[in-house]
Amino acid sequence: MTGTSTQLRGAPGRFERPERPPAGPGDPRRDIGPTYVANAVIGLVFSATGPLAVILASGAAGDLSPAQLSSWIFAVFFLNGALTVGASLVYRQPLGFFWTIPGTVLVGKSLGHLPWSDVLGAFLVTALLVLALGLSGLVGRAMRLLPMPIVMAMVAGVFLRFGLDLVSSIQRSPWVAVPMVVVFVLLSVPSRFTRLLPPVLGSLLVGVVAVLATDGLRSPIELGLAGPLLQAPTFSAPALAELVVSLAITVIVVQNGQGAAVLTAAGHRPPVNVATVLCGLWSLPAAALGAVSTCLTGPTNALLVASGERRRQYTAAVACGALAMVVGVLAPTLVSFMLAMPPAWIAVLGGVAMLKALQTAFCTAFSGGCAFGALVAFLVTVADLTVLGIGGAFWGVVAGYLVTRLLEPADLLAATGG
């Protein structure tokens, strides 16, 4: 990714306007290519593997029925896929919206002692809170006060596990992992063939062949269509106190902060305030279908901008969103396929896809000012310090900012302009 900056950028004013005219009907057809399709597929595969497993685990904690889980998965893919397509076409930049993964983890913990209907009520109130904060315009101003090295150090801490899982998979499942890594490296050497078959897509295809030739699928793949299920919320003080503020923080600071930082580092200007408003609006129908809050996701956007020309990267988000809508309709089939593939395939695919994003995060975090604060942010994030039910990504940014403000005031002034 190119075009890094020392500060999270955003257009002045409460609601950011597109810097280029919205994409017309013929623009995506002209701008899309194999690289962007591959990035879209990998972004979707990432969302449909590890993050989806978190939903399944959280649902199991609350003893949700198959119909409730299917509705949840339909909502997070279909609704957010439609939002991704629309926002990316209007702003002509990749804006990948999915769901808050740390928020889903919080929900799983809460379902051990809270009824599902109370959790749905917390989803609705969280959506209203995020919407109100977005309409206030405060989010964009707050994000512009955070130095890019601090935020990207947090991103590096979040993304680090993808690289570690990649290395671990080579040892655990060499017959699947090694062919995938070798093909990725060979296709990364510049050549005419690389333009026809991007490295990550080649790794994916070889991985499928390796799985079928060795251990095979762990279970049969069953076909099925999702059935959206409207669910009535209830409201209780314990559920609202436990979930609303924590969920809002995971959306606005942790997830949207990652997404905005990744896109800014790639040379884009994500509309932070507008994205927050959209997250609040879209979380309302998602909650009615039993789904956790919408966010401008970090890892998926990193995959969408992993390669290609910056002006054409919006097509990767459009393709990813369109595929997500299809996956939402086929939610039961998706769950079946994910459970059938071995963990090594998922880990290697995510690892090779995130290498460039991880490299950029480290370079941005530690190549200039605020380096000590960035180190603190990285360590707290990797340690996953959890306080008040809020995970390490948030506290990493807080700790890094405070350390920089205390020990590196000149760097902070240079990074934020104030």
pLDDT confidence of residue 76: 95
| Per-residue tokens: 355 | 């290498």
What residues have CB less than 8 Å from 72, skipping those under 6 apart? 55, 59, 64, 289, 290, 291, 292
Residue 139, in any domain of the structure: yes
Q: What pLDDT sits at residue 1?
A: 38
pLDDT tens digits, residue range 46-99? 787 667 767 877 787 788 887 888 899 999 999 999 999 999 999 999 999 999
- Is 17 inside a domain boundary? no
Check residue 312 and report its DSSP letter: G
Q: Is pLDDT at 375 greater than 80 in this prediction?
A: yes
Q: Is residue 16 part of a domain?
A: no
Return the C-alpha torsion angle 37, 228, 241, 247, nearest 10. 0
**Quick check: is 261 in a domain?**
yes
The answer to whether position 6 is within a domain reads: no
Instruction: Note whether residue 5 is domain-resident.
Output: no
CB neighbour list of residue 367: distance below 8 Å, 6 or more residues apart: none
pLDDT of residue 287: 95
Q: What percent of the chain has pLDDT over 90?
A: 33
Q: Mean pLDDT over all residues of the chain?
A: 84
The reply to whether 126 falls in a domain is yes
> In the structure encoding, which two tokens stand for residue 322, read together?
């369109």
pLDDT of residue 54: 72
Q: What's the pLDDT score for residue 221?
A: 74
The average pLDDT across 15-25 equals: 85
Q: Kindly indicate the confidence band of residue 3, based on its pLDDT and cuts at 50, 70 and 90.
A: very low
pLDDT at 65: 84
pLDDT for res 9:
47
Work out the angle between the directed axes of helices 392-407 and 148-172 (0-180°, nearest 10).
140
Count of structural domains within the chain: 1
What is the extent of the structural domain holding 362?
A: 27-416
The confidence band for 189, taking pLDDT boundaries of 50, 70 and 90, is confident
> Which range has the worst mean pLDDT, 154-163, 233-242, 365-374?
154-163
pLDDT at 85: 97
Q: Is the model more confident about 217 or about 400?
A: 400
Is the pLDDT at 6 greater than 50? The verdict is no
User: Would residue 115 count as lying in a domain?
Assistant: yes
* Cα–Cα dist 122/107, whole Å: 10
